[in-house]
Amino acid sequence: MANKPILTRPLNDNEKMMREKFYENITAQSDLLDKLGERLLTLELAIPGLYATALKLVSGDKATMPLNTAFYATYAFWLLALGLTLAALMPKKWKVDPSILKQDPQKFSDGLGIEDFFEQSALHKRRLVIASSIFFFAGIFSAGFTM
């Protein structure tokens, strides 16, 4: 039974196309997260500016704004979110062994495989973008308690 040959057949056109699309999807994840990070960066720069303008309009020229903990927390959250988004957009140097397609996770310190590189770089960016979004919306939430 161990000497019995394994039956195989060539891939048909649909299977080839699905395999190509699968690998295109894996390689495009990092680019999609870069686009998401760029849009998030735009929001993270625009919202605090609009918020500061609205505060100025509401309080007027002579009025003073009480600087409470929520005010400081708002800008701290937004600054942290901005930093995380910038970190997600900055290129990271990865150690990759191009002769390996998929590396054993226990040996990632020796170098990633090609498929691992795409997966790990997208995972790294995804974590930073999610954390940035959480801090950004925490800043929006705390902005409601500044007045």
Residues of the chain with pLDDT under 70: 1-2, 61-66, 147
In the three-class reduction of DSSP (H, G, I as helix; E, B as strand; rest coil), residue 100 is classed as coil
The vertex-59 CA angle with 57 and 63, nearest 5°, equals 135
Cβ–Cβ < 8 Å for 87, 33: no
Question: What's the CA gap between 34 and 89, in Å, rounded?
Answer: 6
User: What is the per-residue pLDDT across 39-74, written as a single tens digit (0 to 9) for each?
Assistant: 999 999 999 888 888 877 777 766 666 678 988 999
- pTM given for the model: 0.78
| Cα separation, 145 vs 25, whole angstroms | 42
